[in-house]
Structure 1
Amino acid sequence: MEFEKLKKVYLLVLTIMLVFLLAACGGGDQSVSNTSNQSGNNQENAGKKTVTKPVKWVHQSLTPRGHLITEAESYFAEEVEKRTEGRIKFDFYSGGGLGIPQADVLSSVGEGLMQTGQMYGPHVAGDLKIADIMGLPFLIPNELELMRSVKEKLMPYWEKGMGEQFNAIPLAATQIEGRNILTTSKVESLEDFKGLKIRPSGDTDTQLTDAIGGVPTPVDYTEVYTALQQGVLDGAWMVNSATLSNKLYEEAKFALEVDPAGAGIATWFLVVNKDAFYALSKEDQQIVREVAVEAEAKIQQRMREEATKIKKELQEKGVTFYQPSDADIKAMKDAAEPIIDKWESEAGDVGKQMMDVIKEELNN
């Protein structure tokens, strides 16, 4: 009860701050309109073209400008404005510019603090456990077509869970790069890893980090650079593209490359406030969904095209990559098994159904 009261106070204060921020700044780093938000209509009015004034949607990307995911989301905002002929306009904040922490993205979208947002499964798994199912360590191999097929079959479960519990809808989702273990000191094996303060992406990362000898040290995504600089962190589970775009290579020069083995591949979501979405005409709903899927495809394409390029650029900036031994990979997989079993036992009937979907895909 006390936690819920504190959360409501936090959301109220954040709402007031956002109102003043938008009034003072005229929007985000891609502001195109100052008209009022029209998302107050409910789902029962879906399909009615009664909105004549443009609606303003606020969007936050956690990743900075220049990151391939931020650029895909920027495409989404720009293309929606274009195809709706300005009926939907965006204030676009990159690099966590609204100040909404990674763990609060889903609830903040549902509360209407922003209408759309960049979200990652492990960040919100504390609120919605099923959001991180595809990120469970060593569950799904790092194979694009397989991950895409699994994702398509899991989308209805995510849409139902987010809609019923958080008043939000996932417009698009995809697996991003696998995470490596980025560190400030040389780590060639799990023996070197022991005792290091490592930033996990979520609950399963926390459990795996602990199981293989690290010290899980939660830090918000936007604060990782400073934490590495100040010694609060010795390292972090991090994708290469984020290491590059956030310039983490300036503070962390070593990476244990566990990505190819499937140690943990986070799911990116583009989520929208349910009320705001269903307040749109059927035509505009279709446009929003279509463009979101196009943004998802852009992420997948650029991930494939740029993975090798990004790694090479990091090497040129002084990052040394180490491949774990077969014995270390086996030790990590062994450590992951009880984590997966625990997740399934805690995820309820829906989680079990989703796990059955994954197992069926893996056996095909």
Structure 2
Amino acid sequence: MSITRRHAVAAIASTLALGSTASAQEKSITIRFPFEYAADVAPGLANQAFKKLVEERSKGRIKVQLYPNGSLLKGLDLLQGVVRGDAEMTTLVSAYWVGVSPKLSVFDLPYAFPTHEAFYKAMDDRDFQKEVFDELEGKGVKVLGMLPYDYVVPGSRKGPIVKPEDFKGLKLRAVGKTNAAALSAIGATAVAINITEVATSIQQGVIDGLNTPLDAFLSYRFHEAIKNITYARYFFAFYPWTVNSKFWEGLSEADRKLIGDAAAETISGHKIRAREAANNAKAELAQKGVKFHEQTADEAKAWAKGMSPIWEASEKQFGKPLIDKMRTFGG
């Protein structure tokens, strides 16, 4: 073979190799992103913001398909679907993940986060996050961060909930096992119902009320039956931002950075968005005839005393060091 011909063959081979590499780097990606809640509540708006960031920065090469209201998967099916790879990503309330990673239940301890800033301290504590999320990351998902929401507050169709005695006889929808235990400890009957089934359950008398963030009362029209809400800062809801591990590991380093950065920016901006959504919802609910009771410090102490066995049980389960760490955020 002549030198000229060898050079030509080498050039063609090099071009093909470069083309193959470029093709691999520029492959189209679809992220199926189901979630249980509505698209117009605060975390749904966060997911929309994430979609916009990813698709703009990838120039449309990475598509994010959102499936709100449990339209693709919901509840434990959603959790298992992300672990299996039936969906690539989700923001599913932490209570569902407790079955996979029991340590996550410490976030649901009553009055663990008496202020938003207390929760943000836990969010930003990398060592604490590693300790709590390591167990979860060994089960087939990668945690990109924590999407904060707001306080899950109790509402009732039977009357105001102010004193611990007011819980007696009430059937309330609980959010996870720890919240259910807290409600039971203070005298309520805790009922496990998916958020998508709550409205029907209220109409049929299956439950007398529920715990949910303020903007969800509006989005799901719970306020049409629930006329009494107590703003008690006893349970702060958030969503571990999870992605299927195999999907994540199969991405290029550049794509992992693009997606991870978009999630981090969304989470950072969402702190303000979620608080504004709660304030706006409170004003709108009041206009629609809902009666609000802002819990006082003395009332909070009375509720916390009734729910204190939950802290004691968690300390026995997870050890004093972890629970003492939890106390530092609220203290």
1:92 aligns with 2:66: yes
Q: CA deviation at 1:284?
A: 0.8
Deviations 1:166-215 (A, max 9, x none): 21012120432112111111124333321111110011111111111111
Secondary structure at the counterpart of residue 85 of structure 1: coil
Matching of residues 166-245 of structure 1 within 5 Å: 166-189=139-162, 190-245=164-219
Residues 1:272 and 2:246 are matched in the alignment: no
CA distance in 2, matches of 1:269, 1:361: 18
2:115 is the counterpart of 1:147: no
Partners of 2:293 and 2:330 in 1: how far apart? Answer: 29
Runs of 4+ in 1 over 6 A off after TM superposition: none
Q: Aligned residue for 1:21?
A: none
Amino acid at match of 2:202: L
> What corresponds to 1:160 in structure 2?
134
Find the residue that maps to 2:70 and give its secondary structure: coil
Residue number in structure 2 paired with 1:293: 264
Distance 1:159 1:209 in 2: 26
Residues 318-327 or 127-136, more deviating:
318-327
Structure 1 counterpart of 2:94 = 121
Instruction: Find the residue that maps to 2:24 and give its secondary structure.
Output: coil
Q: 2:108 maps to which residue?
A: 135
Cα–Cα, structure 1 residues 150 and 327, in superposed 2: closer, same or farther, change >3 Å? Answer: closer
Residue 331 (structure 2) pairs with residue 358 (structure 1):
no
Q: 1:78 & 1:309 partners in 2: Cα distance? A: 24
Deviations 1:42-72 (A, max 9, x none): xxxxxx9835431222111222121121111
Q: Distance in 2 between matches of 1:275 and 1:354?
A: 30
Q: 1:246-278 CA distances to partner (integer Å, 9 max, x unpaired)?
A: 11111211112212xxx1112222211111111
Q: Is the 8 A contact 1:243 1:249 kept in 2?
A: yes
Q: What TM-score do you get using the length of structure 2 for normalisation?
A: 0.85
2:43 is aligned, of 41, 48, 69, to 69
Quick check: 1:62–1:94 contact (8 Å CA) kept in 2? Answer: yes
Give the secondary-structure state (helix, strand or coil) at the position aligned to 1:64: coil
> What is the total number of aligned residue pairs between the two structures?
308
Decide whether the 8 Å contact of 1:120 with 1:267 is kept in 2: yes
Within the candidate set 250, 256, 259, 2:224 is matched to 250
Deviations 1:116-139 (A, max 9, x none): 112111233233222232221012
Extract unaligned runs of 5+ from structure 1: 1-47
Q: Give the TM-score normalised by structure 1.
A: 0.78
Partner of 1:310: 281
> Whole-Å Cα distance in 2 between the matches of residues 345 and 283 of structure 1?
44
Using a 3 Å threshold, how does the CA distance of structure 1 residues 123 and 318 change in structure 2: closer, same or farther?
farther
Contact 2:148/2:267, CA 8 A, preserved across alignment: no
Q: Percent identity?
A: 25
Q: Which has the larger radius of gyration?
A: 2
SS in 1 for 2:192: coil
Partner residue, 1:24: none
- Cα distance in 1 for residues equivalent to 2:258 and 2:51: 11
In structure 2, what is the equivalent of residue 17 of structure 1?
none
User: Gaps (5+ residues) in structure 2?
Assistant: 1-21
CA distance in 1, matches of 2:58, 2:324: 39
Contact 1:185 1:234 in 2 (8 A): yes
Residue 50 of structure 1 aligns to a residue whose secondary structure is helix
Question: Distance in 2 between the 1:358 and 1:209 partners?
Answer: 20
Letter paired with 1:243: F
